[in-house]
Structure 1
């Protein structure tokens, strides 16, 4: 009887340990999984070559070893753009020392109003380390198309702004090897975006 009871306790212990192990593995798997929209298979990010305000070139292909977060918007945007860049600032803070390995890049969808100086000032308003880029239509148009940036000019004749720009609101994430790996929807939580960037930095 005593042996039977001992065997029963051992069996229960084995089951409990198995369940705990399975639970721990599931948690570990979740911690290793991306929470943004993963691009599979990953592809080499489309080229972006624009000039910074100081005249130095920004060439996406030369950012190897860094994670790059791209966002397309415009400085007169009333909601999505300031909301997204405010989230980027929170992410930057959460990353701590790792933030120095990430470039947050704002590219205008409204070059008629967003000159290089305007785009740069707008990005730097949220964080001095952020990069704001502009250019002429001929240079920007293939970039918009390559990143599927939906862009539509909406006349606003009764407004001093004259027009608004409807545009895509996702952020695009390029890994340290120059591959387009993820997109972040506007509604994604800061903690989840930070988690994904840390996974990419750890690769």
Structure 2
């Protein structure tokens, strides 16, 4: 009887410590996920601050360059100096290259549509993702800064459960966001193929 009680006590103590180890492991996993999420959020915030600062700096630079070219042009006209003419040409070159950069970057900032090859790649990822996806209703891929924003409307059978539809669309969203050129993806589920993005 005494041996049986000791064995039960040992089993109880062992189970207690196993539960404690499980809790510690779960805590480590939660901490790892939280740290990763915080790191991504902090990096995104830092990147946003850098972009804002770069935009302000570029605006200040162009304003100063316009002012300087006006001053240098006036000085060149009044002084007949070759160095002043050279500096006017230099300022003009800087302004032209800045304007070319603006012309290149503005479409990316206002949401230019992606190239057809890129859209086809996203369509292929979506279609091959799960057999329960019957059709793609609408696909939008457009610039969101340097990367792309993806909006995808998938059509599934109307009899599929909400849980299954959610799991399919969420895993597709995660798969799309793993692509290096995708900033954010949105996946909407439909049960009919109608082409209306607001249904």
Using structure 1 for the length normalisation, give the TM-score.
0.28
Tell which has more relative contact order, 1 or 2 (C-alpha 8 A, sep 6+).
Answer: 1
Report the structure, 1 or 2, having the larger helix content: 2
TM-score normalised over the length of structure 2? 0.28
